Amino acid sequence: MKLEQLLEGVSYTLVQGSLELDIEDIIYDSRKAAPGRLFVCIVGTQRDSHDYAAQCVADGVTALVVQHDIDLSTVPGAAVLKVESSRYALALMSGNLFGNPSRRMTMIGVTGTKGKTTTTHMIKSVLEAAGRKVGMIGTNGIYFLGHHQETANTTPESYELQKTFREFLDAGCDTALMEVSSQGLMMDRVAGIHYDIGVFTNLSPDHIGPGEHKTFEEYRSWKGQLFKRCTTGVVNIDDENTEALLEGHTCKLVTYGCSEKADYRAGTYQLLRTHDFLGVRFHVSGKDDMDVKVNMPGEFSVYNALAALTVGKVLGLPDEAIHEGLSRCVVKGRVELVPISRKFTILLDYAHNEVSTESLLTTLRAYAPHRLVVVFGCGGNRSKLRRYGMGEICARMADFSILTEDNNRFEKVEDILADIRVGMNKGNPDAKFVEIPDRLDALHYAVDHAQEGDLIAVIGKGHETYRDREGVKTPFLERELLEEYARQIGLE
């Protein structure tokens, strides 16, 4: 592609060189420098890649995009273009490079503090039940038509994002569904993308600190940018931040929630539990009238399901698809049931901090189990406050706790467990617990000592497929390990 074509829609100044150059690819990692490539210099939180421009030209790159002036004598022969924001330029150029694939699919973006991953999976399940071919991007990775890839970020960098959209389109996808993080919006990863539907789940303080957002207000403002980049906004009317987040929005709004003002509103919900099902049933009124059954527990599942249902209604999907999608949806590592016994219920969840743990245990306690048992640990080389907090919550809310490893990294598991004990003693000095440092042994212990009617939550790792012991990652998929152990001991 000619450099001039690559720059379509980008405001720039040609500092030196020609626009008639052929560009084979775009890079923003100097280690990938090679002839025929354009290197985008980005000012990051840790380093400024303008410092690598001269070396990239020495390694053969054809052109440079810069955000501030550089010494042109060090980059002879290369075309140099100056832009106001190199990240924004990278996003637009990446779209041009891959043929702007997002313009040829239905685009759905989901933002919020909690529930993004579960909501996107529910929407995907509903869409696929209606016969749509869906590509999905988020915390759990990239999924499309039987393929799965891991991602480094919830919202990938713009180049990888546009490349993925191209893969979706070439594979036959008609819909791209993604989690849109505040960082993804702030760092222009989704610049140039217009969404047919933007979804808002809820908002609470998160991602505030060095290298992220300076204040909660800034965090909220960036979340709200999605609703200046979509045609229809599907929003939770019950959240106290909704009005402020939507300030200046340019989209049509369709609301969901429990409020009488909601377009699609849920009434009182009923908890459902069997040996192989943990979910809710509720009635929807407002712009429609239907009963809904969801294969996930708790009030937050009602809200997530309402969001998915509303998206389905906006797209004109049949009720049958909405019912089927919501009743069958399973999200790896998000209150994921592992039906290995009729005697007790065991599930996996990604809860890995005080807030998410309290939310999960509150939800599970509502199902009135014989005992609420939690298997958990905390990551190494991270704040001890999380260990104290999770210990305190589990001691106060669980009937029995099994303390174990969870990505200890370069810390001793025993030291991490000692910190958790401090929190447990604060939460409930009489709390019942056992320490089993090896996580596999802890899983076996939980199964071996389960009592009739127990609800056992294995939290922290969720959908992860490895465990990190002393810096070495080894395969560790908890669902498969639990199923294998149940077969070994003949569990019924």
The confidence score (pLDDT) of residue 381 equals 86
Contact 338, 332 (CB under 8 A): no
Domains and CATH numbers, the chain: 3-97 (3.40.1390.10), 99-328 (3.40.1190.10), 336-489 (3.90.190.20)
Q: How far apart are the first and last CA of the chain?
A: 62
pLDDT at 391 over 90: yes
> Mean of the pLDDT values across residues 87-96?
98
pLDDT digits (tens, 9 = 90+) for 35-45: 999 999 999 87
d(C-alpha 433, C-alpha 111), whole Å = 37
pLDDT digits (tens, 9 = 90+) for 310-333: 999 999 999 999 999 999 998 888
CB atoms within 10 A of CB 358: 18
State whether residue 320 is helix, strand or coil.
helix
113 is in an annotated binding site: yes
- Most confident range (mean pLDDT) of 210-219, 223-232, 268-277 is 223-232
The confidence score (pLDDT) of residue 492 equals 77
The confidence score (pLDDT) of residue 214 equals 78
d(C-alpha 338, C-alpha 473), whole Å = 24
pLDDT at 29 over 70: yes
More confident residue, 474 or 187: 187
User: Average pLDDT over the chain, rounded to whole?
Assistant: 93
> Mean of the pLDDT values across residues 217-230?
95
- For residue 462 the two structure tokens come to 């969720």
State whether residue 135 is helix, strand or coil.
strand
pLDDT digits (tens, 9 = 90+) for 172-215: 999 999 999 998 999 999 999 999 999 999 998 766 666 667 78
Between 153-167, 289-303, 345-359, 454-468, the lowest mean confidence (pLDDT) is in: 454-468
- At 469, is the pLDDT very low, low, confident or very high (cuts 50, 70, 90)? low
Contact 459, 394 (CB under 8 A): no
The confidence score (pLDDT) of residue 475 equals 73
Please, which residues bridge with residue 292 across strands?
282
For residue 49, the 8-state DSSP code is G
The confidence score (pLDDT) of residue 209 equals 67
Contact 296, 269 (CB under 8 A): no
CA quadruple 196, 197, 203, 206: dihedral positive or negative?
Answer: negative
pLDDT at 468 over 70: no
Write the DSSP string, 176-231: EEEE--HHHHHTTTTTT--EEEEEE----S-SBSTTSBSSHHHHHHHHHGGGGSEE
Contact 372, 364 (CB under 8 A): yes
118 is in an annotated binding site: yes
pLDDT digits (tens, 9 = 90+) for 64-83: 999 999 999 999 999 999 99
114 is in an annotated binding site: yes
- For residue 389 the two structure tokens come to 């907090």
155 is in an annotated binding site: yes
> Mean of the pLDDT values across residues 124-147?
95
- For residue 5 the two structure tokens come to 């074509």
Q: Which of 88, 29, 44, 39 is nearest to 64 (CA)?
A: 39
The confidence score (pLDDT) of residue 208 equals 63
pLDDT at 449 over 70: yes
More confident residue, 149 or 463: 149
pLDDT at 139 over 90: no
For residue 399, the 8-state DSSP code is S
d(C-alpha 87, C-alpha 415), whole Å = 42
Contact 94, 190 (CB under 8 A): no
Which residues have C-beta within 8 Å of that of residue 425, sequence separation ≥ 6?
391, 395, 431
pLDDT at 466 over 70: no
112 is in an annotated binding site: yes
pLDDT at 463 over 90: no
115 is in an annotated binding site: yes
| HSE value, Cβ hemisphere, 13 Å, CA-based, for 137 | 30
Contact 247, 261 (CB under 8 A): no
d(C-alpha 374, C-alpha 395), whole Å = 10
pLDDT at 253 over 80: yes
181 is in an annotated binding site: yes
